[in-house]
Structure formats: structure tokens, C-alpha cells
Amino acid sequence: MWHIIFILLFTYAKCDDNYNERRRELVERELRSALGGNTTLSDKENVVNNCLMRHKFDELDYAFDHPNEFNFSHHFFSYKNRIPTSKVYKIIKSMPKGALLHIHDMAIMGADYLLNITYQEHLYVCFDKPVRFLFSSNVPNVTCGVQWQLMSEARAAVDNVTEFDAQLRKLFTLVCDDPDKAYPSIKETWTRFMQYFNSAHGLLTYRPNWEQYFYDALTFFKNDNVGYVEVRSILPNLYELDGTEYDTLITAKAYRKIIRRFMKDHPDFIGAKFIYAPSRKVNRDVLAQYLVSARRIKKEMPELFAGFDLVGQEDAGNPLIEFVPQLLEAEDLNFFFHAGETNWFGTLTDENLVDAILLGSKRIGHGYALAKHPVLMQEVMAKDIGVEVNVLSNAVLSLVRDVRNHPLNIFLSLNLPVVLSSDDPGAWGADPLSDDFYVAFVGVASKLSDLKLLKTLALNSIKYSAIEPENKAEALQKFTRQWNDFVDNFDCSSY
């Protein structure tokens, strides 16, 4: 009898071992096939990784047992101020993150920066809807639904300046106490988002402010351990106090001037370029003018002009298919099209992905809807098209609430050529890149994803940048030096 029982137990144990071995193999295959899965870490990097993962497991184990307190299932505005207390975030903050390839120029710096500009001289305000600002030596000769008044006089006339500034500050941020009430749908979110740009426009396009703002933005990037940036810009017409207004080429030259100055002051910075990205809500005649401007700027400064894009809410703008004949003839320009920034499926909006691919876009901005299109994902992988994912932007702009449901997790699992970016961090008070890296790493990626993923994402950002092929080796060398410094000087007790 005991002999029979022993044989049965031995058989079950053997079966169990076979099952566990097959299970381990499947799990390991999946991990190896994901983005960063085949990256090898050095001994020193493993020290960093052990510390990083211990803190990551602590956060996620607690969240698993207390799902009601899991930050990433709530709106970003409800937990953004608690992010700096995370040890994982602190490690990511100090880590070189490579390049930032998707960010819009007038939404980089936060609300306090813009509020401070309202204390400058010669600033007029129009308390219309939306509130507008304009620097001028005289009362602006621009239509205002009420009347233009000096900002300094408007502030001096109030009883409570602190409260006045608090209300003024709200113009320069989407952050609010009750985002569910303020933004019940994507319509309300984008309406408020456009109001933000309308209010910021006059403050930033005053030429002296534009130049100082972009220098400060580059400093902002560097302080967040971002070494290179490609800024999408509508290249707005800058103006002077006397009303002189410049064309887009002068704005591009302002970029060149500031980038050169910043690189001289910070030679360890890899560099910066801009993508000319005007509105997609135009007709073909206006697009033709855009393309003329793009070629003109490219000819003037080919070293800084990365390429061309069309921006704005995709659902409300014209789809790429409307412009295909003209864009096919613009093969001399590199494209970096926004595409698939939508929740809809089978519409002209998500089919922008089709046209972005066929038009040879070097990267795809957002690509949020890409997970619904397996054939297009195969094309993206086959053509090695970088996908610029902006998790926090997609959450704030009403595409996804719980970031665990963001399609980035699918992209990572399938080893798509992903780069992480931040889109418009100033509009919601986020870091240039660290907040997005942290939320993606802890809230979207697998619990088992580790430093290999973070390092690969940083390397991807250099790989898929518009840095000239002959200069990419030097860019990678700069990044590698920064990465090695981070690893060599890492002290887990500091976190």
C-alpha cells in the first residue's frame, strides 16, 4: 500500500516539476521579448536595480493590498503632489533619461513662471473670455470685448492681491481641485486646454520673453537630467513693444540664437532641434503656405530644423488623408506626425496612423490608438518607426483614467520602438520627463520591468531622435558618460 502511495506521489511531483518548468519558461520568454528584455546590466547597474526594484515592489505590493489608495487609478491631479515622496521617483529623477522628443514649446514651464511674467512692465490685459495679454508701449490697437488696461493698474486696483493672483494663476494651468467635475469629457478638457494657450500666447511671444523663456526651458530640461530635446513649435509671430511683428523665420532664428548660447554655457548638453508643427485645422491652401515656410526654414538652418508635423486635437482637426497629395510631394521634409491620439476606432482620426506610416513619418506622435491595429503595429516594427508615448498627457486630456489601461503596456510587451515623452507638462505642472517616466514605470509597465526597461527607453530616445547619423555616436557617448556617472555614484541609502 505505502509502495503504491509513494509511486503516485513521485509521479505527481514529477508532473508538478515539469509544469513549473514550462511555466517558468513561458514567463521568461515573455520578459525577454518585451522592451529591454535582452538588455544586460553590469554589476554596478545591478546594484542600482536591486535598490530600484525593492522600492518599486514596496509601492506596488502596498497598492495591491490597498487598491483604493493606488494613485494611478485616480486622476493625475489628485496625486501629482505626492509623487516627489516616492523613492522610485527620486531614483528616476536623478537618472539620465536621454532625449525628450515630443513637447510643445508654449507648454513647458509651469503656472508660476507665467504668473511672474504678469509683473513685467508694459503689459496690458483684456479680461475677456479667454483673458488675453499683450506687451505694448501704448494701449493695444487690438479688439477687446471689454477694454485693455495695464496689468499693473488692474492689480493695484484690487483689495486682495494674493487672491487676485491666485485667480490669475488658474489661467495658466489645467490643474484643479475637482477634475471630474471640471472635465467630464474630452470636449471640456480641450476647450480649457485651448484657453490656456490663448492666455499664454501674448505673454510668451513678446520677443524678449520668448528668448528668455526658451533658455529657461532648456535649463528646466537639463535639471531634469534630459540631455537633448526636439521641440514642436507653431513658430508663432514674435512681436516688439512698438507693435512690430516678425514672421516664422525670425522665430526660428531666435531658437538658433538661444540654442547656441545654451550649448556654449553647457557643453555637456547634447543639443536641441525644433519640429515645425502648425495647426492641422486648415485647408489645403494654408497647408501649401506651411510647406513653403518649412522649406525656407530648412534651407536657412538645416542643422536645427528636424522636420514637419500638424498639431491640434485630432478628432476636431482635418485628417492627414485630406492632405496626402501635397504631403507626398513634400518628400524633402522629414515628417513626425501626430496620429492616433483618440479613443475612437475605425474613424478617420485613428486612420491617421495609416497615412502617417504610408507618408514615411519618422516617428508617430502619441499613437494611442495603435494597439487596436495589429497590422499597423507590425508595420511600425518592420519600418522601425519610433512611437512617442505621452502617458500623463493622455490621462489629463481625457483619453484614459486608470493608467494601467494605457496601451503603452501592450507596446512594451511587444517590444515596439517606444520613446517616452511629456507633450505639454507645463499645462499640468509636471516635470519635463521624470513624472512621465515614473508613472509609466510604476503604473503602466509590468511589475517585473526593471532598470533594463528604463535604460532601453533612454537609449531609444537617442536612437529615434533627428540627430544626424554622423553625430549620434557623440550623443551616445555623452549619454553613456552621464549614465556611468549616475551608476558609479549611486547610493541606495540616499533614497
pLDDT in tens, 342-396: 999 999 999 999 999 999 999 999 999 999 999 999 999 999 999 999 999 999 9
Q: Domain of residue 404: give its range.
A: 85-106+221-235+247-485
Q: Does 381 lie in the same domain as 330? A: yes
- Is 195 among the domain residues? no
Check whether residue 465 and residue 369 sit in a common domain.
yes
Q: What is the mean pLDDT of residues 181-204?
A: 97
How confident is the model over 307-339, as pLDDT tens digits? Answer: 999 999 999 999 999 999 999 999 899 999 999
**Residue 387 DSSP SS3:** strand
Residue 153's pLDDT band, with cuts at 50, 70 and 90, is: very high
Please indicate, yes or no, whether residues 474 and 367 belong to a single structural domain of this protein.
yes
Residue 254 lies in a domain: yes
Q: What angle do CA 326, 329, 333 make, to 5 degrees?
A: 100
CA distance 211 to 201: 14
Contacts of 73 (CB under 8 A, 6+ apart): 67, 401, 402, 404
- Quick count: other Cβ atoms within 10 Å of Cβ 112? 11
* In-domain check, residue 22: yes
Cell numbers found for residue 178: 475637482
Options 75, 102, 366, 406, the catalytic residue: 366
Q: Among positive and negative, which fits the CA dihedral 200, 205, 209, 213?
A: positive
Contacts 24+ apart (CB under 8 A), 374-383: 377/414, 377/416, 380/416, 380/417, 381/414, 381/415, 381/416, 381/417, 383/357
Residues 261 and 362 in one domain: yes
**Which pLDDT belongs to residue 16?**
73
Helix (H) or strand (E) holding 364: strand 363-366
- Structural domain includes residue 134: yes
Q: Which of 314, 341, 351, 388 is catalytic?
A: 341
Total domains in the fold of the chain: 3
- The answer as to whether 151 is a domain residue is yes
Please, which residues have CB within 8 angstroms of residue 167's CB and are 6 or more apart in sequence?
A: none
Identify the bridge partners of residue 311 per DSSP, sorted by sequence position. Answer: 279
Mean pLDDT for the stretch of residues 22-51: 95
pLDDT in tens, 223-257: 999 999 999 999 999 999 999 999 999 999 999 99
Pair (22, 141) in one structural domain: no
Compute φ and ψ for 90, nearest 5 degrees. -60, -40
Residues of the chain above pLDDT 70, percent: 97
First to last CA, the chain: 60
The pLDDT, as a whole number, for residue 8 is 47
Specify whether 266 is catalytic.
no
User: Is the same domain home to 402 and 456?
Assistant: yes
Q: Are 315 and 189 spatial neighbours (Cβ–Cβ below 8 Å)?
A: no
Q: What is the mean pLDDT of the chain?
A: 95
- Per residue in 105-130, pLDDT (tens digit) is 999 999 999 999 999 999 999 999 88
- Across the chain, how many H-helices and E-strands are there? 20, 11
What pLDDT, on a 0 to 100 scale, did the predictor assign at position 15? Answer: 60
Residue 366 annotated to the active site: yes
In this predicted structure, what is the pLDDT of residue 17? 77
Please report whether residue 423 resides in a domain.
Answer: yes
Q: Tell whether 476 and 461 lie within a shared domain.
A: yes
Residue 1 has pLDDT above 80, yes or no: no
Q: Using one digit for the tens of pLDDT, what is the confidence trace for 54-101?
A: 999 999 999 999 999 899 999 999 999 999 999 999 999 999 999 999
Sort residue 437 into left (φ over 0), alpha (ψ -120 to 50) or beta.
alpha
Same-domain pairing of 272 and 334: yes
